[in-house]
Amino acid sequence: MKRRTWLFIGAGLLVALVLAGVVSNFASGSPDGLDYTARDGCTTNAEGEITGGTCMAREEKDHETADSPLADYGIKGIDNEYLATGLSGALGVLITFGIGAGVFWLVRRRSPDRADSEKGTGND
């Protein structure tokens, strides 16, 4: 691959790491549109816990992976909320990048000359 391609990939990875590791700590803690709609019709207390009413959120259950090391946008065992969020975001970016790179490596197109020479049918 050309040097410019590697620079582009590296810069993109760096931007994604900064966004996930630093900027993610400044995201709003308010419910998004889906959460807001699911809680429509509920009554809540001061902590935001549902105390009554009729809404979709009353049927809410914990996810099967709620006890996993990266659950709830953090890392289990790290008490500093900002550090846990930043590290889990950066780890998520690296895992996603690794899987994506692996898939692209597996399905990459080979140049016709290289494929022919590997088969032994190249122009000699």
Distance CA 1, CA 111 (A): 12
Neighbours of 79 (CB within 10 A): 7
- Give the residue from 37, 40, 58 showing the smallest Cα distance to 49: 58
Report domain extents, the chain. Answer: 3-111
Distance CA 80, CA 97 (A): 26
Distance CA 33, CA 101 (A): 33
Percent of the chain topping pLDDT 90: 37
pLDDT (tens digit per residue) in 105-117 = 899 877 666 655 5
> Taken in order 64, 69, 71, 72, is the CA torsion positive or negative?
positive
The pTM (predicted TM-score) of the whole model is 0.67
Would you say residue 15 has pLDDT above 90?
A: yes
